[in-house]
Structure 1
Amino acid sequence: MRAGFPKAATGMVIGLLGGSFDPAHEGHAHITREALKRMGLDRVWWLVSPGNPLKAQGPAPLADRMARAKAVMRDPRVVVSDLEARLGTRRTVDTITALQRLYPGVRFVWLMGADNLGQFHRWERWQEILLRVPVGVLARPGWGVRGRMSKAARIFNGARVSRGEQLRMRDAPVWCFVNLPMDGSSSSAIRARGDWRR
């Protein structure tokens, strides 16, 4: 494997949690720990993105966001990575495609909060994401019903399973909405306070 790329063995099931992480906070760590437990994942890779195509304003510098993410998520099963910058990808579907090519025999599960499920249909080639990998949706405050009633959830309703562990074994398209204890942490609220890089 190339330098700077995480190691993974054939047969592993790895969750991918992508985002700006601007900044990373306990809510990200909380849903990661829950995904590891409820979906039976071997590892989770945080994909700290160079930027979010759906956001008008660019994020803080990547190095700052990586440092903060590593400080927040201290679990040996979690890798904080700048893979998208290394791969030169900006769209989730391109990142997943590249990782499947680089890691044959590894099973990837895309992880997202219910807030992202609500706007998932705006992501470029979003249906291809669901056709490529299982998707685990983790509850977020205020997004339970809205996430489950979103356009993507309605279109792929027949591919929904009831338990997170089923994502380990079922081929895409398959997705699961996982209810969990809520953590109200928010990157936008932390940015609004303006104190995260001090």
Structure 2
Amino acid sequence: MAVGLLGGSFDPAHPGHVHVSRAALARFALDRLWWLVSPGNPLKPRGPAPLARRIDRARAVIAGDPRIAVTDIEARLGTRYTAETLSALLHRYPGIRFVWLMGADNLADFHRWQDWRGIMGMVPVGILARPGQRISARRSVAARTFAPFRLPAPASRLLARSDPPVWCFVNIPMRDDSSTALRRGGVWPPAPPQGRP
């Protein structure tokens, strides 16, 4: 089974996450996709909304798509960095072929992630283009370092069955949904439920 892993704070989850997930399922021929809702992002100075609230929102946003599962497995595993999470998942689920998924904006900064080279050596990596990040992502340190291992976009359906290091950059129809914009607009986080007087 090929399972895509889309990690992030999902603070909040929105239709853009669903759009990217469905594109990844199709373009990389994945059987399932897991949203790894992280307890927090070590690269962000401000903490996210409470995990339970973000999980509830994510489950509501996917609207019962049976191919997408929302999980707090990083909190349960006690992992903080992607490399740690991937190592734990590969140990726990040896029969699954995992594919790490990320937007092109993350590829641009990927060399700042802890053990980013190790991540590339653990699992195939699928990159999905996002608005404004195509050029910087393709010229990034990670893209240049792993250029010999790039799978051409027309062969993207082979990614999950390829041995790492391997990565593939695909363009998908753009959406400009943004968790940051939702937070700035006062839509998120929602007010906590009020108890009865």
Q: Distance in 2 between matches of 1:67 and 1:135?
A: 27
Q: Distance in 2 between matches of 1:128 and 1:121?
A: 11
CA RMSD of aligned residues (A): 0.8
CA displacement at 1:73 relative to structure 2? 1.1
Map of 2:185 onto structure 1: 193
8 Å Cα contact 2:81/2:114 also seen in 1? yes
Map of 1:110 onto structure 2: 100
Amino-acid identity (%): 60
- 2:61 aligned with 1:72: yes
* 1:52 counterpart letter in structure 2: N
- Find 1:55's aligned residue among 44, 49, 53: 44
Runs of 4 or more consecutive aligned structure 1 residues displaced over 6 Å after TM superposition: none
- 2:5 aligned with 1:29: no
Map of 1:161 onto structure 2: 151
Larger Rg: 2
1:66-145 to structure 2, matched below 5 A, reads 66-74=55-63, 75-145=65-135
Q: Distance in 1 between matches of 2:140 and 2:15?
A: 26
TM (normalized to structure 2)?
0.93
Gaps of 5+ in 2: 192-197
CA displacement at 1:118 relative to structure 2? 0.7
CA displacement at 1:45 relative to structure 2? 0.3
8 Å Cα contact 2:27/2:157 also seen in 1? yes
Gaps of 5+ in 1: 1-11
Query: Alpha-carbon deviations, 1:129-156, whole Å to 9, x = none?
Result: 0000000000000011111111100100
Q: Distance in 1 between matches of 2:102 and 2:42?
A: 16
CA displacement at 1:168 relative to structure 2? 2.0
Q: Distance in 1 between matches of 2:25 and 2:74?
A: 22
TM (normalized to structure 1)?
0.93
